[in-house]
A and B are shown apart, each in its own frame.
Chain A
């Protein structure tokens, strides 16, 4: 089984800073991290490899060369090949342009039986990259996946969770699934993988390496959306009503409110 996991290097949300003139997130390398939901997706890929050891797990990331160090951490977990799509012309790509660029990279690379993504990145929060990649590639997509188990080499049993509802599906590959954050426990690195990562050089692709890419559809110019402004949400001070010697009707009303929450 050939599995590809899209892993984004994001800025640690606790250390995030916006550049209000360029309307982008400041990306300084020391605060980069692999997007948590993408690691949950990777964990499912590695579990499939545990079951089918002749499988190969690839990761694809898009970002500056500074992302290389974080990409190496994926090798430490047991990824076979890590690919970084890095090109200055990609800067400023919105979700749509990103999906287009990633899908061009995927088409250039290999034939994948399964493509996994995290269902949203902690910095962008759009959740639309995975379905758009699937659209560009012309394969099916299921979002909000919380469990993946193989039935056989080309059929998976998956569980999707929306609100409190779990829905089970049996899907035929190829397929793109986007995985919810915290849907599994991401494994620890292994010493031998860490040693491999020491000298591992991620395969870096530029736009010139991609087949049939239309550069007018990527970067700031190729983006369909533009960020207008960033604003940090101000938490309204929560008004608190103190009930003293409340009447029966007030107590019932409180009970109703509490019941709604539990």
Chain B
């Protein structure tokens, strides 16, 4: 399918594909098995300037939008979503600053992210606040020129590795979701520690950790937006970054499909290649149809966002849900097509099946996304 990408989008895709095929494909298995954080790949992305594709030119980026970010995530994910998520989570940490940062905050943090000198993270989830984000308990109390943060965050991608964290904390308990605020916390701030690293099923090259705040002193100029706007900041950020999860899912699905197709063509049973059996042909055809449908929905959503649409919550949720469900189905089928070989670590589809699962869970589980879509379409009626 020709998506009529612009020349610069085609270049971004080609460069990300080259890195994915020539470097990531070679290390994906090892990084997954040993849980190695892909700092070297992030350095390569920085060298090639892909770290800044979605950051405005005035802050040292390339000036692209969500589509440019997604093209990179998709290509990297074709070979390793674990590596891609380290890149995507930096975007998740950068977007709140791009959307709500003051000029000073943007000038201070965005050029470093664009140049790949700093990795970012987004810290919202807590042990008792996953889907129900407004029940977070981390608190921020104003004390002179500082906010004092106390509490724990769970499941934070790039935890321990990131230099810049956007952290959500309650500034006014009495106001519920309207009492949440967002802060920029730098690695090394007094009272800010990284806790346990999760031992995950998939995306094992990424670092997912607990974050601990014990009387962590955050300068008051690091408040993002105004006090009480944290919940809105989180939701508006997700609207722009859920397409990134869709891109990750499509990349995984595309990778699994390519492996399964090649394998089915070469594997001979009953004297003929697997591709000669209609049962297999239909699975491959369904893979193709679903990937293209998911990609078409993703790119359309990205274009809608990048052309300045005001509200795109349901579109952003829809592409995330659809692509992640497609990725799960396709990776399961890819393992099926490859039989025993699909089930062992000598081939990458086993890893892809494990990696696909998380795209249905994080940045809002798919059930929550369906809740969001339903409430939007009912509201519009």
Contacts and interface: CB of A to CB of B under 8 A. Distances in A.
A192 interface: yes
B58 to A, nearest CB: 16
Contacts of A191: 11-12, 15, 48-50, 53, 62
B47 A188 contact: yes
A195 B7 CA distance: 9
A189 B7 contact: no
B49 A192 contact: yes
Contacts of B53: 191
B367 interface: no
B291 to A, nearest CB: 26
Interface string B48-88: 11100100000000100000000000000000000000000
A83 B287 CA distance: 46
A142 interface: no
B23 to A, nearest CB: 8
Nearest to A188: B48
Given A194-B11, A195-B11, A198-B11, A188 B62 contact: no
Nearest to A193: B49
A188 B18 contact: yes
A192 B44 CA distance: 14
Report the interface size class on chain B: 10 to 19
B18 A190 contact: no
B19 interface: yes
A96 B53 CA distance: 47
Given A194-B11, A195-B8, A188 B44 contact: yes
Report the interface size class on chain A: under 10
Interface in A158-195: 187-192, 194-195
A148 B50 CA distance: 29
Contacts of B47: 187-188, 190
A124 to B, nearest CB: 27
Contacts of A188: 15, 18-19, 44, 47-48
B116 to A, nearest CB: 12
Interface string B1-35: 00000011001101100110000000000000000
Interface string B38-49: 000000100111
Question: For A190, A191, A194, which residue has the most chain B Cβ atoms within 10 angstroms?
Answer: A191
B91 to A, nearest CB: 16
B15 to A, nearest CB: 6
Nearest to B53: A191
Interface in A188-206: 188-192, 194-195, 198
A158 B19 CA distance: 30
B320 to A, nearest CB: 27
A190 B11 CA distance: 10
Nearest to B23: A188
B319 to A, nearest CB: 25
Contacts of A190: 47-49
B87 to A, nearest CB: 14
Nearest to A189: B15
Contacts of B15: 188-189, 191, 194
A189 B49 CA distance: 9
A235 to B, nearest CB: 25
A189 B48 contact: yes
A162 to B, nearest CB: 30
B11 to A, nearest CB: 5
A182 to B, nearest CB: 15
A208 B15 CA distance: 38
A39 to B, nearest CB: 14
Contacts of A194: 11, 14-15
A188 B49 CA distance: 11
A142 B138 CA distance: 67
B262 to A, nearest CB: 19
Contacts of A189: 15, 18, 48
A190 B19 CA distance: 11
A13 B368 CA distance: 55
Contacts of A195: 8, 11
A188 B16 CA distance: 11
Interface in B186-205: none
Interface in A91-110: none
A53 to B, nearest CB: 15
B49 to A, nearest CB: 4
Nearest to B14: A194
A83 B8 CA distance: 24
A190 B44 CA distance: 10
A195 B11 CA distance: 8
Nearest to A199: B7
Contacts of B44: 188
B380 to A, nearest CB: 39
B8 to A, nearest CB: 6
A187 B23 CA distance: 12
Nearest to A198: B7
Contacts of B14: 194
A72 B7 CA distance: 15
Contacts of B11: 191, 194-195, 198
13 contacts: A187-B47, A188-B18, A188-B47, A188-B48, A190-B49, A191-B12, A191-B48, A192-B49, A194-B11, A194-B14, A194-B15, A195-B8, A198-B7
Given A189-B15, A191-B49, A198-B11, 15 more contacts: A187-B47, A188-B19, A188-B44, A188-B47, A189-B18, A190-B47, A191-B11, A191-B12, A191-B15, A191-B48, A191-B53, A191-B62, A194-B11, A194-B15, A195-B8
Closest 5 interchain pairs by CB? A191-B49, A194-B11, A188-B48, A190-B49, A190-B48
